[in-house]
Structures are given as structure tokens and as C-alpha cells.
């Protein structure tokens, strides 16, 4: 399709992407040009509630003035030095973030996938140099239906056929076990002395917001300690307030004390962050660990030209300040409970929605259709028409993850939009 003047503005922009862009996504047909807080606006000025938040990167809301202020101020002074030289922002960010999350050291990268790659490299090196696993035989345990990004190594341990097909040969050294099954973890750990690490998501977001049993991570932590294996927690999607606490696995951080008491706290040996670490303003990711682990990395072992650049450092500090100062974790906790309560009331008499699940403001509903049906997509188009943007995942699941700066009145407005749309799809 070629852009023509008979098309609407949106159709023209979509046609351009279609013609000149690789087709590696299947976006909902809506073209956005502006964002503010919980809202985004399309090219015709129509306003929508954003219920995806760029896969939880925009937890702090679109174009948060404090974060944008830091971006503008720093980008006028110095944007990139590479790590060949020091800069006057990186150390401040490392100090701020390590004390925020309770770790000795931080290694900065840009995208989530890079941070996962980094954690895999640290774990392997630790496996050889500290655990004394025989060279080239370290294994990392991962979970079925995981999502950790899109690099060749990461898709090597995915079990999504669409993500993998015809991208081989794959990287070896990964063992897959069922999610939310501590017994399966123990079985593999006790029979294999070559395991360096266990990589896990506290909630499987991409898989469809699968929340494990309350004590799952705690059991994993105990098993990893017992077998001298690193627990690597991927909080790229669940972290930074999204699930109603600073981290879904919340460890010894002061800012989320109130929420940490709700379920037992687990401190990951290696914590992986991305997405909302920058409030969606700039690609910033990070791996955090204590000295006895991070010290395996020396000069020349790993790096990134943009990782730890001064703009990223300034933006990330500002993004974390917003989460702390606006108490976004607490807000997510409170609004998430309200959301699931109201959705459950609707579901009690619904034919089309099977269930709601989630934690904080990371939630999903499951549509009562087989995976091949188009109902979830059609519902998302209906939501769009009523002014709310969400995207189906795995056919019949719709994820609901608005920015955490939402107010209760806004959430109730959104629930009206969602239930009215769903009602249109109920069988008569
Ligand atoms: C998004 C995501 C990633 C990958 O992050 P990118 O920035 O897209 O590379 C990794 N793990 C989880 C859990 C994610 O949600």
C-alpha cells in the first residue's frame, strides 16, 4: 500500500511503516503523537488512556516533567563520553541506584535484553571462577514460557516457536524447567553440579501475567543458597513499582517497607532492571549484584558504548526519584486491588471473560475463547474506539498495565470503558 491523499492521517502513517519498515510487529491500528501522564493522543487529537505503558516502561506516566527536565538539562551539557573516560553523572547514578535497591554494585547497559545478556555472562564467569565449574560446562536454569528479550542467546532458551523458528543454531548451556515449581528446581539442582544460576521472572508478564504461588521465589532463593547457585531475577517488567512494591521480589529497600511486609522478601543475587528505570524516556537498563559476584568482571570483559552515558544516568536518577516521591508502588498496590475487585464483580455474570489475574497494576483478563479466535483483538479495537489502549497477548489474553500515576477517579472511568466494551461482546 502506498500513502495517498485519499487516506486519513492515521492510514497514511500506517502505510509508511508498512511500506518502509520491517514487519516485525503487528500494532493496533492507532497512530500516537503526544503523551501526558496516563494519556496518549493520536494524530487527530483523540485522547486515550494508555493501558500498556510501553510494556511497563512508562510507569511514571508519559513525559513526566521531572524526568524530561533531567533529560533536557543533561543533554545540553554532555551526552556521551564512552567508558574510555569518566563522566560526572555515572558514579552518582551508581551510588543512587545501589542504595535504592540495596546492592554493592551496578553495571549499566541500555536495553533489557542487553542486561539479561550481561547477567548471563556474569553468572557463567562466577560459575567458573568462584564455583569452579569445569570450563565451558556451566549451565543456567530457566523457566518454560519465559520472556527475557530477543537476542540470539536469549531466544535460544525461549520456547515460543515464533520467536525461534529459523533463527538457529542456538546458544547451548540452558536447562528449562516448569515455572512456579520449586520441586522441579530442586530436582535439577541436586542432580547437576554444573549449574551457575537460575534465571526467573517474579511474574511471567509476556506469557500472560502468570503470578506464581506466594512462596515460590522464597523457595527458589533457599534452594539456590543450598546448592550454591545464583538467583537471577528479571524485574525488567515487574520492577520499579509496577506490582505494588518497588520490586516484585522486594528485598531490603527502605522505600517499599510498607509493601514488603505483605509477602516474604527475596533478595536476588543478580537483579536485572530496564524499562521503567528510565520512565520510558531513554533506554536504560542495569544489572545489580554484591561485590563477591560483580568482582568477577574486569576491564575488557564486557561493555557498551552507550551504557552508563551521562544522559542515561541523569534520566534514571530522576525516574527513580519520581517512583519514590510520588509513592507509585503504594498507588499501584491500592489501585490494583480495586481493579481486580471490580473486574471480578463483572466476571461473576460474564460469559466472555473467564478470569482476571495480576498484582498491583500488572493485570490481565482471559477471554473465554480458544486461542485462535479473534475476540481479544476485536475487544481491543472496541476499547480503542472508546478511548483506551490495550493489546492482546497469546491470542486470548488482554494485559492491563496503565501508568502508575493514575488516580482512583481515572481508574473508575477506565473500568466503565472496559466493562461497557466487554458488554458489547457478551452473547445475547
Ligand atoms: C521487555 C522485557 C525484556 C527485554 O527488554 P528489551 O528492552 O525489550 O530488550 C526482558 N525481560 C522482561 C521480563 C521483559 O519484560
Q: What are the residue boundaries of the structural domains of the chain, listed by start?
A: 9-60+328-425, 65-325
DSSP annotation of 394: T
What confidence score (pLDDT) does residue 261 get? 46
Q: Ligand 1 pocket test: which of 237, 249, 285 has the largest number of ligand atoms within 8 Å of its C-beta?
A: 237
158/307 Cα distance (integer angstroms): 25
For the domain covering 65-325, report its CATH number. 3.40.640.10
| Overall fold of domain 9-60+328-425 | 3.90.1150
Distance 148 CA to ligand 1 centre (A): 5
| Ranges of residues in the chain whose predicted pLDDT is under 70 | 1-3, 251-264, 370-372
What confidence score (pLDDT) does residue 373 get? 77
**115: closest CA among 285, 297, 289?**
285
Question: Model pTM?
Answer: 0.96
Answer yes or no: same fold for 9-60+328-425 and 65-325.
Answer: no
What confidence score (pLDDT) does residue 371 get? 62
Distance 103 CA to ligand 1 centre (A): 21
What confidence score (pLDDT) does residue 395 get? 84
Catalytic residues: 147, 234, 275
Give the DSSP letter string of 205-220: TTTT-BPPPTTHHHHH
What confidence score (pLDDT) does residue 2 get? 61
| Range 55-75 burial, b when 16+ CB lie within 10 A, else e | bbbbbbbbbbeebeebbeebe
- Which atom belonging to ligand 1 lies closest to the Cα atom of 206? 15
Strand runs labelled E in 124-257: 139-143, 174-177, 195-200, 230-234
- Ligand 1: residue whose CA is nearest its atom 5: 112
Tell me the percentage of the chain whose pLDDT exceeds 70.
95
Task: Give alpha helix (H) positions in 208-282.
Answer: 216-226, 257-260
Cis amide prior to 169 (ω within 30 degrees): yes
Distance 145 CA to ligand 1 centre (A): 14
Task: Name residue 141's beta-bridge partners.
Answer: 175, 198
What confidence score (pLDDT) does residue 262 get? 47
- Ligand 1: residue whose CA is nearest its atom 10: 148
Amino acid at each position: 500500500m502506498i500513502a495517498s491523499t485519499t487516506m486519513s492521517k492515521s492510514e497514511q502513517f500506517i502505510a509508511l511503516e508498512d511500506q518502509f519498515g520491517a514487519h516485525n510487529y503487528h500494532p493496533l491500528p492507532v497512530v500516537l503523537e503526544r503523551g501526558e501522564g496516563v494519556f496518549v493522543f493520536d494524530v487527530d487529537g483523540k485522547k486515550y488512556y494508555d493501558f500498556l505503558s510501553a510494556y511497563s516502561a512508562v510507569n511514571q506516566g508519559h513525559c513526566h516533567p521531572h524526568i524530561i527536565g533531567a533529560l533536557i538539562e543533561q543533554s545540553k551539557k554532555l551526552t556521551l563520553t564512552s567508558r574510555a573516560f569518566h563522566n560526572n553523572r555515572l558514579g552518582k547514578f551508581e551510588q543512587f541506584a545501589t542504595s535504592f535497591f540495596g546492592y554493592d554494585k551496578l553495571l549499566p547497559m541500555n536495553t533489557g535484553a542487553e542486561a539479561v545478556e550481561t547477567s548471563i555472562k556474569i553468572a557463567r564467569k562466577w560459575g567458573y571462577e568462584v564455583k569452579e565449574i569445569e570450563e565451558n560446562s556451566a549451565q543456567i536454569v530457566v523457566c518454560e514460557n519465559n520472556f527475557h528479550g530477543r537476542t540470539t542467546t536469549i531466544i535460544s532458551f525461549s520456547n515460543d516457536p515464533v520467536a525461534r523458528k529459523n533463527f538457529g543454531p542456538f546458544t547451548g548451556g540452558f536447562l528449562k524447567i516448569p515455572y512456579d515449581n520449586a520441586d522441579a528446581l530442586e530436582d535439577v539442582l541436586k542432580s547437576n553440579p554444573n549449574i551457575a544460576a537460575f534465571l526467573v521472572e517474579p511474574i511471567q508478564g509476556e506469557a500472560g501475567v502468570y503470578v506464581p504461588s506466594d512462596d515460590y521465589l522464597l523457595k527458589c532463593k533457599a534452594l539456590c543458597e543450598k546448592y550454591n547457585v545464583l538467583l537471577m531475577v528479571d524485574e525488567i517488567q515487574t520492577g520499579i513499582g509496577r506490582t505494588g512494591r518497588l520490586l516484585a521480589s522486594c528485598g531490603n529497600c527502605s522505600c517499599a517497607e510498607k509493601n514488603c511486609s505483605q509477602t516474604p522478601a527475596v533478595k536476588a543475587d543478580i537483579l536485572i532492571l530496564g524499562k521503567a528505570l528510565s520512565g520510558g524516556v531513554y533506554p536504560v537498563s542495569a544489572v545489580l549484584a554484591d561485590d563477591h559476584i560483580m568482582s568477577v568482571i574486569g576491564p575488557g570483559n564486557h561493555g557498551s558504548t552507550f551504557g552508563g552515558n551521562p544522559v542515561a544516568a541523569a534520566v534514571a536518577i530522576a525516574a527513580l526519584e519520581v517512583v519514590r516521591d510520588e509513592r507509585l508502588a503504594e498507588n499501584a498496590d491500592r489501585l490494583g486491588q480495586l481493579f481486580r475487585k471490580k473486574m471480578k464483580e463483572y466476571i461473576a455474570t460474564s460469559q466472555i471473560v473467564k478470569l482476571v489475574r495480576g498484582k498491583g497494576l500488572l493485570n490481565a483478563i482471559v477471554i473465554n475463547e480458544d486461542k485462535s479466535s479473534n475476540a481479544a483483538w476485536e475487544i481491543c479495537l472496541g476499547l480503542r474506539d472508546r478511548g483506551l489502549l490495550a493489546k492482546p497477548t497469546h491470542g486470548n489474553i488482554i494485559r492491563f498495565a496503565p501508568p502508575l500515576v493514575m488516580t482512583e477517579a481515572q481508574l473508575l472511568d477506565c473500568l466503565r470503558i472496559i466493562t461497557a466494551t466487554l458488554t458489547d461482546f457478551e452473547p445475547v
